[in-house]
Structure 1
């Protein structure tokens, strides 16, 4: 049986609760909605850490952040941690990454044979959190300029990046079909939209009107928020500073437009699959690294375990393989590694640690696990902030802050905190959390990592700079018109479909 290709598409900071295949929404996503209608949609998919690098390290490795040192956006990702790219490469797949993965440290491949672009974010330790100085706000922290400057644009860093990401991904697909052999590929295409700053070109801005944009409802006052939410407001400099309503609307309108921009790029990739004849042999998976609060509860960006921040889109479209359907069970992006391995006809190594569990049972309609564990130790924390999602409930666990309990099935807006109303449920979750996590040990490991990385980063900024940022290799001698091959043969091989020689 011919092995299926895997096209894994990621968006950055795309909040699942806002998307039209999860709830009524003004966001226009025709291509993703078409995939959702014909694929398997996971209604309760979560990231395992609501921040870019820790979430992505867990996503590619299937291991939770505390197991692999994925503490913040400057955490070193060790080269000996197996990723889905390592597994699939062992199974004979070509593995490539086009776009963002926010790897930190000297290994910038982690099993991918090729990275088609550089990353948009730095690979060094400069963004390490400092629990030794919890009240100091570093200059690189988020602030509210993304909201206050929201609106249409002509060009941004992020547009430059995503245009290259999609172009290089399409080129990879064209190159794949023009090469001899039937080796399958796993191509990861990871875009940076709709991540802030909240700005998008006018054609996407003009897809929406101000009156189409819902505003956050029932926003609590800042002094009513839980301690972690209050710290986040100070992290991004919003404490005691009300935002103009028109800028909140502008930010959300630009975000909606950025989601449509992602959808248009998905459409380009789908068209390329069709044009190359790869569509029927390719499984498409779409997901993301975390969401965005977008002003709900008065919060912005991510960094908390509330639904807008922690829930991610997850859909699997596999022509002729899985029936269209929806999965209500709670799953996470840590589950993608064992899922990809099983889809590729392989098995995971049971001698190696793995927190993720395969989703293939869910894809087949046979059921599976209904449980997610999450860990967060980055901006806004002064101690680990953990999460368990199972059944109807979400439990947010800390030994420094009050623990929180929500019935997210019946209260998806998380308006009513239930730790006092449901003491037995609360006690069971608390007991499980304390059995699972040794917070003092994890706390000391985080502190030790932060201190090591601060010293190393300060040292490496002195003297000659040796960047870890990935530099994509382009061999110009093999591009376009060159004399290493007869020109007629060259032109014929570069053409698709290839004409018959005369």
Structure 2
């Protein structure tokens, strides 16, 4: 039995009621974030996909699905820092997987907490340094380190750091009984479902929640439990559709191959198929967990008043173009799933305009009738107009930006995706320009096209990039940050090491059965659903039978 500890409502808890109707609670929010999900591989975007995701498919069927959503940066920590703040990496100095996020940068957790929400995180967010950033509580630690150990070094561009990706994830791909990833996600799911059950047993006057469940699957290494590996027994695992010889790769892709130890590695077809099969199995594992979370909402009568969002921090090339993992702006790496389910106001539909996962913060605030501080920087846009047909004329209509300054590049690598076109530009490399609609595999770089109309469009994109980014200034900022963090890290490793990794708190005095609460009251509050004196079940839901159980 799990006895509940419900803190007193804060002074701002009145914001938990809908304006104009104090008796109606604001909706709960369940934000499910997976790691390294390539949108083009999912069945919701590719009917021919062999990946089995029935729960995600069912959620998509009743949601607003964004078919052209991109990450702000194709690397874990920068992407997540941008996602939670609604700001692009250059604005918040989110350069690589060891870049700290300032504790004074507002996140969606700050904004929703201000609106009266209990903001809770379970799982990965890859914060460096400060570990809460507006979340009232973290239910688990992070799977990745919260220190400066993974800082990139552009001062030695030809040096391959020992913690970079390598070929082992591919060559060792296959089934397993246990892995770090499984250990982590099982804890995330246990803590998340326990939290949802606990909220169902709270009084109706309790604050609404925003629970973020951030799974580490299907991130490499490419291994998954036998149960999920076996789901693809006899399934034809397709090989990558595009193979590009090393000598024909673009400059950035060649560097990525070197960084990942793949430049001179001949990966056998069998290893490629095993890696892809394990990834497919890991996606089915994620899908099962999405189903479990949605079932808990349904069982507890919270499904009709909970907004559900599903997305990812970035994708995975998974062998396309000979590339693996992320770190590029090709579609497999940069395009992510994004769907929003709101039982109160969103009709199922598919939106094909370009959006970004930095749009999630302003969208959440908008969905709960909150407000942004317009005096503060914000790069994301609310997607609510897309949900109700008012998107025409939005300031950044159909245009999104990506920024990358991590491993594999030696200078700022930037993307503009607008309409059918995508520009990828870096001072160290020749530009790349694609018509993604006509050339979804990005096989034809139109930067040198002889077509005058294409050249005119290309030049327009170059002007946009020049006006948006001061590449020299950004490069200098990155170098300064890298050097500063390397010096600090070298010093912090000497003597007694003080970890910044989050240590979850559990108060044993408020769990299960304790003598500080009358036993009859404890039993009544901890059992769900509540029953009457004859053991007959009362109606479910926070606003129904629970009120009687709490004497309200």
TM-score of the pair, normalised by structure 1: 0.98
Alignment of 1:228-247 (within 5 A): 228-247=252-271
Matching residue within 372, 392, 398 for 1:370: 398
The residue that corresponds to 1:425 in the other structure is 457
SS for the counterpart of 2:161 is: coil
The residue that corresponds to 1:47 in the other structure is 71
Cα distance in 1 between the residues matched to 2:488 and 2:533:
59
Deviations 1:22-60 (A, max 9, x none): 012111111110011111100000000000000000000
Deviation at 1:489, TM superposition (A): 2.0
- Unpaired stretches in structure 1, ≥5 consecutive residues: none
- Is 1:84 equivalent to 2:113 in the alignment? no
Cα distance in 1 between the residues matched to 2:530 and 2:107:
36
Alignment of 1:345-424 (within 5 A): 345-367=369-391, 368=394, 369-421=397-449, 422-424=454-456
- Is 1:159 equivalent to 2:182 in the alignment? yes
Deviation at 1:501, TM superposition (A): 5.3
Cα distance in 1 between the residues matched to 2:489 and 2:532:
58
Over 3 Å counting, the alpha-carbon distance change for 1:488 and 1:211 in structure 2 is closer
SS for the counterpart of 1:28 is: coil
Runs of 4+ in 1 over 6 A off after TM superposition: none
- Is 1:467 equivalent to 2:491 in the alignment? no
Deviation at 1:498, TM superposition (A): 1.9
Alignment of 1:449-460 (within 5 A): 449-460=481-492
SS for the counterpart of 1:7 is: strand
SS for the counterpart of 1:192 is: coil
SS for the counterpart of 1:498 is: coil
The residue that corresponds to 1:187 in the other structure is 211
Cα distance in 1 between the residues matched to 2:242 and 2:320:
8
Cα distance in 2 between the residues matched to 1:371 and 1:336:
15
Deviations 1:284-339 (A, max 9, x none): 00000000000000000000000000000000111141111010000001111100
The residue that corresponds to 1:291 in the other structure is 315
Deviation at 1:216, TM superposition (A): 1.0
Query: Is contact 1:210-1:249 (8 Å) kept?
Result: no
SS for the counterpart of 2:446 is: coil
Q: How many residues align?
A: 501
The residue that corresponds to 1:59 in the other structure is 83
The residue that corresponds to 1:490 in the other structure is 522
**CA RMSD after TM alignment:** 1.0
The residue that corresponds to 2:155 in the other structure is 132
- Is 1:108 equivalent to 2:124 in the alignment? no
Cα distance in 2 between the residues matched to 1:217 and 1:56:
29
Query: Is contact 1:290-1:311 (8 Å) kept?
Result: yes
The residue that corresponds to 1:146 in the other structure is 169
- Unpaired stretches in structure 2, ≥5 consecutive residues: 1-17, 19-24, 535-552
For structure 1, which segment, 479-488 or 340-349, has the greater mean C-alpha deviation from structure 2 after superposition? 479-488
Cα distance in 2 between the residues matched to 1:325 and 1:218:
30
SS for the counterpart of 1:402 is: strand
Cα distance in 2 between the residues matched to 1:326 and 1:366:
15
Cα distance in 2 between the residues matched to 1:458 and 1:331:
40
Deviation at 1:459, TM superposition (A): 0.7
> Max radius of gyration: which structure?
2
Query: Is contact 2:305-2:344 (8 Å) kept?
Result: no
Cα distance in 1 between the residues matched to 2:387 and 2:503:
37
Cα distance in 2 between the residues matched to 1:287 and 1:5:
17
Deviation at 1:183, TM superposition (A): 1.5
Deviation at 1:492, TM superposition (A): 1.9
TM-score of the pair, normalised by structure 2: 0.90
